[in-house]
């Protein structure tokens, strides 16, 4: 039987203490687990880190105020972490939001975002967006059918229109010979841009998305060459260039132990964008939608050890939360774990399981101290990106969510009750 290798992470001690302190505060108020704990502070740090690299490359980041330079705008990816206090906090920073579904659009409006502060992406919008006659939205069209249905509404409501382009750099990461289902092909994009211009719509943007956790900024470079070629073929000079996703999360490892952002430098990324901007005469703004990079480090998952077992030389910790319910990303990512209280002593091969009746329910497998015992808490870091939207209710309810910002720590969502879990059925 293969012995698990302990992954190597590089979290500064102050980061670990920050989360331990917040978790202890939450547990002091309510000891029930599992729960997610999210904080605005790491998002602020990621934005500042990215802005620093962009400003160094000569971009206007808002704070730098560089007249005549291309302005970079950060859009909150609502799908990545749809937590109401986060949306309110982000709006309080004066920043816009990106949505990809009707529920997300309604959530953004519910939290006070004006239509001009909302960017609508995603496929098949023509089946729901016409129910929301909002003047001044930004909308990136995803297909010829979508454009045909929504173009009259776009003109009537003065939408700021864009076209999403499917470049050769966007493909199914599990089967790279297959493209993703999003956006226009190059030829379709040229036709769509010409159609928008002939119709005298307010077409101002081109968009592309390059999947998650890109290994290198060179992927952006190759994609931008293709996007620029589409614009030249359509005789279109975009005012806005929308770059969706791609930047890898900090302090996350592959199943094999490789650091996801080990070869991705923000300075190299910013320099790539600076050079690429020359291919787009008249460009005014870069739109960035880096959901995973901004929010992965902004949340943790806290579970409690319920039971321990020994199987064929392996120790198993049965917890009240795990992959099936709370951390689907553990299937392809390794995150750091810390225990409360801290346990020391001899380490042995250990697997952390959730409470569901699935062998799939494995949060981590690594050497851990044999002194860990029922009642101890485990904190799984980097749980701020896609964990809450991918949470399941497999024989359990949704977990509680705590939120932290300058106003302190508070419960943002209570754990789901049985009445809510089962009371949804009406027939």
β strands within 231-277, DSSP E: 240-244
Residue 186's SS3 state is helix
Beta-carbon contacts of residue 93 (< 8 Å; ≥ 6 apart): none
Averaged pLDDT of the chain: 94
Enumerate long-range contacts of 113-121, CB under 8 Å, 24 or more apart. 113/87, 117/91, 119/75, 119/242, 119/287, 119/289, 121/164, 121/207, 121/244, 121/289
C-alpha to C-alpha distances, 242 to 72, 74, 75, 124, 377, nearest whole angstrom: 10, 10, 10, 19, 41
Q: Is pLDDT of 140 > 90?
A: yes
Q: Is residue 279 pLDDT above 80, yes or no?
A: yes
Q: How confident is the model at residue 204 (pLDDT cuts 50, 70, 90)?
A: very high
Give CA torsion, residues 277, 279, 281, 287, to 10 deg: -40
The per-residue pLDDT for 262 is 81
Q: How far apart are the C-alpha atoms of 122 and 197, rounded to whole Å?
A: 22
> Average pLDDT in the 296-318 region?
96
Q: Is the model more confident about 234 or about 211?
A: 234
Min mean pLDDT across 155-169, 211-225, 340-354 is at 211-225
Alpha carbons 80 and 82: distance in angstroms, whole number: 6
- DSSP letter at 253? B
Reduce the DSSP state of residue 237 to 3 states and report it.
coil
* Per-residue pLDDT tens digits for 44-100: 999 999 999 999 999 999 876 677 899 999 999 999 999 999 999 999 999 999 999
Separation between Cα atoms, residue 113 and residue 270, nearest integer Å: 28
Whole-angstrom Cα distance, residue 380 to residue 334? 10
Angle between helices 41-56 and 266-277 in degrees, nearest 10? 50
Tokens of 314: 């392996």
CA 18-21-27 angle, to 5 degrees, is 140
How many alpha carbons lie under 13 Å from residue 359 in its C-beta half-sphere? Answer: 0
Calculate what percentage of the chain has a pLDDT beyond 70: 99
Instruction: Give the CA angle between residues 326, 327, 330 to the nearest 5°.
Output: 160
Mind listing the domains of the chain with CATH numbers? 13-39+297-422 (2.40.37.10), 70-289 (3.20.20.10)
Supply the pTM of this predicted model.
Answer: 0.95
Look at residue 59 and give its three-state secondary structure.
Answer: coil
Residue 63 backbone zone (phi > 0: left; psi -120 to 50: alpha; other: beta): alpha
Do 382 and 249 contact (CB within 8 A), yes or no? yes
DSSP labels, 289-330:
E-HHHHHGGGEEEEEEEEEEEEETTEEEEEES--HHHH-GGG
């Amino acid at each position: 039987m293969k012995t698990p290798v302990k992954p190597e992470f590089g979290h500064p001690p102050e980061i670990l203490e920050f989360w331990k302190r917040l978790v202890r505060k939450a547990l002091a108020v309510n000891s029930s687990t599992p729960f997610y704990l999210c904080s605005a502070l790491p998002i602020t740090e990621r934005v500042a880190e990215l802005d620093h690299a962009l400003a160094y490359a000569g971009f206007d980041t808002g704070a730098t105020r560089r007249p005549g330079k291309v302005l970079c705008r950060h859009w909150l990816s609502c799908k990545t972490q749809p937590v109401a206090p986060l949306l309110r906090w982000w709006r309080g920073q004066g920043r816009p939001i990106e949505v990809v579904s009707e529920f997300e659009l309604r959530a953004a409006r519910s939290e006070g975002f004006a239509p001009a502060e909302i960017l609508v992406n995603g496929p098949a919008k023509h089946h729901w967006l016409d129910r929301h006659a909002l003047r001044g939205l930004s909308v990136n069209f995803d297909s010829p059918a979508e454009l045909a249905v929504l173009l009259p509404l776009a003109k009537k409501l003065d939408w700021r229109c864009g076209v999403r382009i499917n470049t050769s750099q966007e493909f199914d990461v599990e089967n790279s010979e297959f493209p993703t289902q999003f956006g226009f092909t190059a030829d379709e994009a040229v036709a769509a841009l010409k159609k928008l211009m002939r119709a005298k719509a307010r077409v101002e943007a081109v968009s592309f998305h390059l999947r998650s956790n890109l290994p290198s900024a060179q992927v952006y470079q190759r994609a931008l060459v293709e996007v620029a070629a589409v614009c030249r073929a359509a005789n279109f000079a975009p005012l806005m260039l929308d770059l969706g996703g791609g930047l890898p999360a900090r302090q996350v490892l592959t199943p094999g132990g490789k650091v996801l952002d080990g070869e991705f430098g923000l300075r190299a990324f910013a320099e790539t964008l600076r050079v690429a901007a020359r291919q787009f005469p008249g460009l005014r703004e870069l739109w960035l939608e880096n959901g995973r990079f901004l929010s992965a480090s902004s949340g943790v998952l806290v579970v409690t050890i319920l039971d321990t077992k020994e199987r064929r030389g392996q120790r198993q910790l049965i917890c009240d939360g795990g992959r099936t319910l709370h951390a689907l990303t553990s299937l392809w990512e390794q995150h750091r774990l810390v225990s409360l209280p801290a346990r020391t002593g001899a380490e042995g091969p250990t697997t952390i399981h959730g409470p569901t009746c699935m062998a799939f329910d494995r949060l981590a497998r690594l050497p851990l101290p044999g002194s860990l015992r029922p009642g101890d808490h485990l904190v799984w870091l980097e749980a701020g990106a896609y964990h809450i939207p991918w949470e399941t209710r497999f024989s359990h309810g949704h977990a509680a969510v705590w939120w932290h910002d300058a106003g302190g720590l508070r419960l943002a969502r209570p754990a789901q009750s049985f009445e809510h879990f089962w009371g949804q059925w009406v027939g």
